[in-house]
Amino acid sequence: MDAPAATTPSSTPGAGRYAPSPSGDLHLGNLRTAILAWTLARRTGRAFHLRIEDLDRVQEDSAARQLEDLAALGLDWDGEVVRQSERGSAHDAAITHLVERDLVFECYCTRREIQDAPSAPHAPPGAYPGTCRELSPAAREAGRARMRELRREPALRLRAGTRDWTVQDLWAGTVTGSVDDLVLRRGDGVVAYNLAVVVDDAAAGVDQVTRADDLLSSAPRQAYLAQLLGLEEPTYAHVPLAVNTDGARLAKRDGAVTLRDRLERGESTADVVGRIGDSLGLPGCRTAADFLERWDPSALVHEPWVVELPS
């Protein structure tokens, strides 16, 4: 099953999207974000797209199960489901465009070396310190030789021209965040998330990005990268995370937290939708359509959703 046809095509430009990774069944927090992404897009007359972000971990049949669960909640989407792994030529073209403008350099650092290196002034912890940005030709050749010994390619990094960038977010408001020399292509040859998401959103006409707020810090660097590529910067809506009773991000190890888990324990799909509605101050929701009719974006819930479930 790829996608049910959308019954009400968008009448205005732009689109929203939901982009899960096919690493397992979607848990309640994932489903909540999907419902909000769909609701925000449909409420504003946008199209709504689905993209499977399958560049890293892929669990067999996971994508199909995720699409079935989203459809069971009452979500529909426009067009074909996009597989990120099939977008390689577009990712390569974006990197080539940046290379031609001298905005890319090779990086020979290991992850541990980056973590252990002293950070640049005003940079957040873990930011790339610029180690390989201005190497001499001899140092670059030595770095390439080291990569050959490790049987890896050098990573490709953006030569950023700013330290920060500002974006607008429906939940967080005006957000100014750090921009460093972010990875464009990893040493294992896989395109980096920050590049792929920018290129793929723009190709689909996505101008409204709704996702969990653990990705808020990525928005400024992604918006900056979009600007460098001549692409429209989207608006953002980073929704509060679902967390367990210890305050940690909800995960499948926390128990029966997926739709299928809840169904196996005697709950209905409407019960699960109702639980998500309760978390947003909308009691009585039974399908995604109820959110579309009742949710008021001005009454935003800013706190994490603490998920407490019966066994």
Q: What tokens appear for 259 in the block?
A: 């739709």
CA dist., res. 284 & res. 194, Å (int): 38
Q: Is the dihedral of CA 296, 297, 298, 304 positive or negative?
A: positive
Amino acid (one-letter) located at 28: L
Look up tokens 């100014």; give the residue. 176
Q: What tokens appear for 211 in the block?
A: 């996702």
**Strand ordering across the sheet containing 208-212:** 173-178, 164-169, 235-239, 208-212
Nearest residue to 37 via CA among 286, 297, 268: 297
- Which member of 43, 252, 260, 294 is catalytic? 252
CA dist., res. 154 & res. 203, Å (int): 27
The residue ranges of DSSP E strands in the chain, in sequence order, are 15-18, 47-52, 82-83, 104-107, 155-158, 164-169, 173-178, 183-185, 208-212, 235-239, 242-243, 305-306
88 touches 96 (CB < 8 A): no
Question: Active-site residue 252, yes or no?
Answer: yes
Just list the catalytic residues: 252
